[in-house]
Copies of this chain bind each other. A is one copy, B any other.
Amino acid sequence: MAFVNTPAFKSFKPTPESIPPPNAVLKLSVPPGIPVHIHPLNPLTFLLRASQIYPDKLALSAPEGPNPAFYSYAVWCVTQRVQNFAYALKKVGIKPGETVAVIAPNCPMIADALQGGLAARVILCPINTRLQHHEVEYILEHSQTRLILIDHEYLHLIKGTKIPFIVSNDTGRVGGDPYEVFLSEGRRFSRERGWEGLDVEGDENQGCLLCYTSGTTGRPKGVLTTLRGSYLAAIGNASDARMSSSSIYLWLLPMFHAAGWTYPWAITFCLASQITLRTVDFTKIWKHFLGSGVSCYCAAPTVQIGIINDPAARKPPQRISAIIAGAAPTAHLIGSLEKVGIEPVHVYGLTETYGPFTRSYTHPSWATMSLEERSKKMARQGHAFSTAAEVRVKQEKEEEEEGEERLVDVPKDGKTMGEIVTRGNLVMREYFRDPEATAKAFRGGYFRSGDLAVWYPDGAVAIMDRSKDIIISGGENASSLAIEQELASHPHVLEVSVVARSHPKWGERPMAFVTLHPQHVAKWRGEKGEKEFGEDLKKHARKRLPGFACPEWVRVVGELPKTSTGKILKTELRKVVAKL
The answer on a CB contact under 8 Å between B424 and A38 is yes
Question: How many copies of this chain does the complex contain?
Answer: 2
CB distance from A247 to the nearest CB of B (A): 12
The answer on a CB contact under 8 Å between B424 and A39 is yes
Given A38-B425, A52-B383, A383-B49: A23 touches B409 (CB 8 Å cut-off) = yes
A200 — nearest CB in chain B belongs to which residue? B389
The answer on a CB contact under 8 Å between B409 and A1 is no
The answer on a CB contact under 8 Å between A447 and B242 is no
Q: Kindly state whether residue A249 has any CB partner on chain B within 8 Å.
A: no
Q: Kindly state whether residue A184 has any CB partner on chain B within 8 Å.
A: no
A386 — nearest CB in chain B belongs to which residue? B269
Q: Kindly state whether residue A306 has any CB partner on chain B within 8 Å.
A: no
CB distance from A405 to the nearest CB of B (A): 16
A457 — nearest CB in chain B belongs to which residue? B22
Given A22-B412, A364-B1, A409-B25: A425 touches B37 (CB 8 Å cut-off) = yes
CB distance from A234 to the nearest CB of B (A): 10
Partner pick for A54 among B46, B52, B361, CB 8 A cutoff: B361
Bound CA span A269–B214, Å: 34
Which residues of chain B are near A37, meaning CB under 8 Å? 226, 229, 423-425, 427-430, 447
Which residues of chain B are near A191, meaning CB under 8 Å? none
Bound CA span A457–B19, Å: 14
A390 — nearest CB in chain B belongs to which residue? B27
Partner pick for A53 among B442, B446, B459, CB 8 A cutoff: B459
Q: Binary interface profile of A, 323-367, with partner B (CB < 8 Å = 1, else 0)?
A: 000000000000000000000000000000000000001011000
CB distance from A372 to the nearest CB of B (A): 23
Which residues of chain B are near A210, meaning CB under 8 Å? none
A445 — nearest CB in chain B belongs to which residue? B36
Bound CA span A41–B382, Å: 22
Which residues of chain B are near A238, meaning CB under 8 Å? 239
Q: Kindly state whether residue A384 has any CB partner on chain B within 8 Å.
A: yes
The answer on a CB contact under 8 Å between B23 and A411 is yes
Bound CA span A271–B459, Å: 15
Most chain B beta carbons < 10 A, residue from A45, A271, A386, A412: A386
Q: Kindly state whether residue A235 has any CB partner on chain B within 8 Å.
A: yes
The answer on a CB contact under 8 Å between A442 and B205 is no
Bound CA span A361–B244, Å: 12
Bound CA span A457–B53, Å: 11
Which residues of chain B are near A459, meaning CB under 8 Å? 26, 52-53, 55
Which residues of chain B are near A1, meaning CB under 8 Å? 364
Q: Kindly state whether residue A30 has any CB partner on chain B within 8 Å.
A: yes
Instruction: Give residues 167-192 of A contacting B (CB, 8 Å).
Output: none
The answer on a CB contact under 8 Å between A36 and B361 is no
Which residues of chain B are near A226, meaning CB under 8 Å? 37
Which residues of chain B are near A41, meaning CB under 8 Å? 425
Given A49-B386, A459-B53: A38 touches B205 (CB 8 Å cut-off) = yes
A38 — nearest CB in chain B belongs to which residue? B425
Q: Binary interface profile of A, 1-43, with partner B (CB < 8 Å = 1, else 0)?
A: 1000000000000000000001101110010000011110100
Which residues of chain B are near A26, meaning CB under 8 Å? 459
CB distance from A256 to the nearest CB of B (A): 22
Q: Binary interface profile of A, 368-382, with partner B (CB < 8 Å = 1, else 0)?
A: 000000000000001
Which residues of chain B are near A423, meaning CB under 8 Å? 30, 36-37, 39
Bound CA span A271–B303, Å: 31
Bound CA span A382–B27, Å: 17
Bound CA span A450–B39, Å: 22
Which residues of chain B are near A27, meaning CB under 8 Å? 389-390
CB distance from A267 to the nearest CB of B (A): 12
CB distance from A579 to the nearest CB of B (A): 41
The answer on a CB contact under 8 Å between A54 and B384 is no
CB distance from A404 to the nearest CB of B (A): 16
Most chain B beta carbons < 10 A, residue from A25, A53, A383: A53
Listed by A's residue number, 17 A-B pairs whose Cβ atoms lie within 8 Å are A22-B412, A27-B389, A27-B390, A36-B423, A36-B442, A37-B226, A37-B229, A37-B424, A37-B429, A37-B447, A38-B205, A52-B459, A54-B361, A54-B363, A235-B239, A242-B244, A245-B361
A interface residues, Cβ below 8 angstroms from B: 1, 22-23, 25-27, 30, 36-39, 41, 45-46, 49, 52-55, 205, 226, 228-229, 235, 238-239, 242, 244-245, 269-271, 361, 363-364, 382-384, 386, 389-390, 409, 411-412, 423-425, 427-430, 442, 445-447, 457-459
Top 9 A-B pairs ranked by shortest CB distance? A39-B424, A39-B389, A37-B427, A52-B459, A36-B442, A53-B383, A53-B361, A36-B423, A1-B364
* Beyond known contacts A45-B389, A53-B382, A245-B361: 12 more, CB 8 A cutoff: A23-B412, A26-B459, A36-B423, A36-B427, A37-B427, A38-B205, A39-B389, A46-B386, A53-B383, A55-B458, A235-B239, A239-B270
